[in-house]
A and B are shown apart, each in its own frame.
Chain A
Amino acid sequence: MSYLGVMSRRNEIMKNAVGIDYELFESGTVDFDYEKMMRETGYTLDEMQNIQKDVSICNTPLIELKNITELARKCSSKGKGARIFIKDEASSPSGSFKARRAANAVYHAKKLGYKGVIAATSGNYGAAVASQAAMQGLKCIIVQECYDSQGKGQPEIIEKARKCEAYGAEVIQLSVGPELFYTFLRLLEETGYFNASLYTPFGIAGVETLGYEISMQFREKEGRDPDVVVCTNAGGGNLTGTARGLIKAGAFDTKVVGASVNLKGLHMASDTQFNKKSFTTGHTGFGIPFCTNPDRSDVPRSAGRPLRYMDRYVTVNQGEVFYMTEALAQIEGLERGPAGNTSLAAAFCIAQEMDEDKIIVVQETEYTGAGKHIQPQLTFARENGIDIRFGNPEDEVAGESIILPSHPSMIKIKDLDLNKIKRSYIKNCIERINLTEINEKDLEFLVKDTKSSYEFVKEILKELGVNCLKENLGV
């Protein structure tokens, strides 16, 4: 079965494997009815909460990081340094917030009568799907990109395979390359299992409970919503679901910030660069392409649309995240894995811009352990020739060095130009269907999908040489 032969059948295979007819929400042009898709194929917040409560996913602890807050205040000017909180999702059954996404996907698969579920992921989501499949009595296959052509794999990815197998899943490990998707499609055809994609409406809706809980817990604890929520951003589902949950709670003034690890210059599909990166998730290699083209995922339309909800997008460097991971263990007594600590490093810095009475929350933590711990990751990096040292994090070059800040005050976020990212997104939408004119509904969709304005989108369309037609609404 040739690569292109299998890929040409992707839509048909997917339709059978997710049970959603995406065409129902399509207009045929740029616009598609996102909210209708979320409403008709997702679950209500109440339903989701009940599904998750049934499998012990709810009300994870909200912990104030008093020492890290104090540290941020010592590094900022007087009166600055917001209170930093962390939502301890590591206490979920599979050890990360991904249990929320998996709970709904697996529940849905079971309801539709599928015998098993498949997910393509090297990350925590695999463990989450495996854990939920075990709880709900379905078979489970996880396909992961794991090794380079020398057979070497990141300890973090190998640990995640172990965890999936611990929950009874079959793990298929592949070498580097985007053809993971090809293998995935072949497996869906062979087994007839459900595609527990990260990007279905129910997968994303599963995360809404996280945003909702954050608001409810803060209202109970502090009598108000947090000012800022920072989400580690990779495929965009974490941020999308959390932001939607905050909106459902009525927390309209809470700002949502995305944070990714800066891996500039490393090609995600490169065999030689695969093991030069020291973060396997939450980095710009996923974060940027999924922002500018969310529908590049494994379903026709991704329900994770981060630009719709993001107020700000920042990056931090690898050494800064490793440093904050160690800080979390050493001065807060919380030993947690790296992904959530990406947003912790960002929050540490953003808190210093905010007044002392403000509240910033890191919305997830993940489990840690052998392989998925900073020491084996740094050992692996050092053995791969990466220079690890104390210094100024600004000097870090992804794939060459990991620079631990000589002092915590040297941890600095970098703001990404969101307008530039939005522009790329609009350009991709237009190029995908090769349009020279769009209608008013398309325009409205682009404004919503980029959380921008009519003026902004119109200006970019003008640059791209695309006209906006007034639509005949048949009145």
Chain B
Amino acid sequence: MNVKKGDWVLVHNVILNPDQRAPQVPDDTKKVPLEMWVKGFLNHDASINDEVEITTITKRIVKGKLVETNPYYKHDYGKCIPELLQIGLQLKGILFGGEDCE
């Protein structure tokens, strides 16, 4: 019970099991469930992996498995792509360096 009522959390849910999926989905997708993630304030004390109830930012009540507390964004500007450095140098060479395209 280390996650407290009112904490901002992320829950996970399975919306459709593989056998409930839409008839038109490709075979690889049919093998996996349709999953959902949504954030909200925890309605009661709980622990990670518990089935819990949350109140979302629009005040909807959603049930699901508690997967994260204070979820944050982990995306960033990525790693170095050395090729990108060459593009500006090449273009400046063509435009301002006297080199011609033809």
**Which residues of A are at the interface with B, using a C-beta cutoff of 8 A?**
2-3, 67, 70-71, 74-75, 116, 139-141, 146-147, 149, 155, 158-159, 162, 165, 168-179, 182-183, 190-191, 267, 269-273, 323, 326-327, 329-331, 370-371, 373-380, 382, 388-390, 404, 407-409
Contacts and interface: CB of A to CB of B under 8 A. Distances in A.
Contacts of B21: 3, 177, 179
A43 B77 CA distance: 40
19 contacts: A71-B91, A74-B102, A139-B58, A162-B73, A170-B40, A172-B38, A323-B87, A326-B87, A327-B91, A330-B91, A331-B95, A370-B75, A373-B77, A375-B79, A375-B80, A376-B76, A390-B86, A407-B90, A407-B101
A370 B77 CA distance: 5
Given A171-B39, A191-B60, A377-B78, A331 B91 contact: yes
Given A149-B32, A168-B57, A390-B86, 17 more contacts: A3-B16, A147-B35, A158-B73, A158-B75, A170-B58, A174-B15, A175-B33, A175-B36, A182-B16, A182-B22, A183-B15, A271-B29, A271-B32, A329-B88, A375-B78, A382-B81, A407-B101
Nearest to A118: B58
Nearest to A326: B87
B36 A183 contact: yes
Given A175-B32, A390-B86, A155 B78 contact: yes
A58 B75 CA distance: 31
Nearest to A67: B95
A109 B22 CA distance: 30
Contacts of A171: 38-39
Interface string B17-48: 00011101110110111111111100000000
A165 B57 CA distance: 9
Contacts of B100: 74
A215 B37 CA distance: 44
Interface in B48-102: 56-60, 73-81, 83-84, 86-88, 90-92, 94-95, 100-102
The 4 A-B residue pairs whose C-beta atoms are closest, nearest first, are A379-B78, A376-B78, A330-B88, A149-B32
B24 A178 contact: yes
Contacts of A159: 73, 75
Given A74-B95, A178-B25, A408-B101, A373 B39 contact: no
Contacts of A379: 78-79, 81
A323 B79 CA distance: 17
A74 B93 CA distance: 12
A382 B94 CA distance: 28
A386 B39 CA distance: 32
B70 to A, nearest CB: 13
Nearest to A274: B29
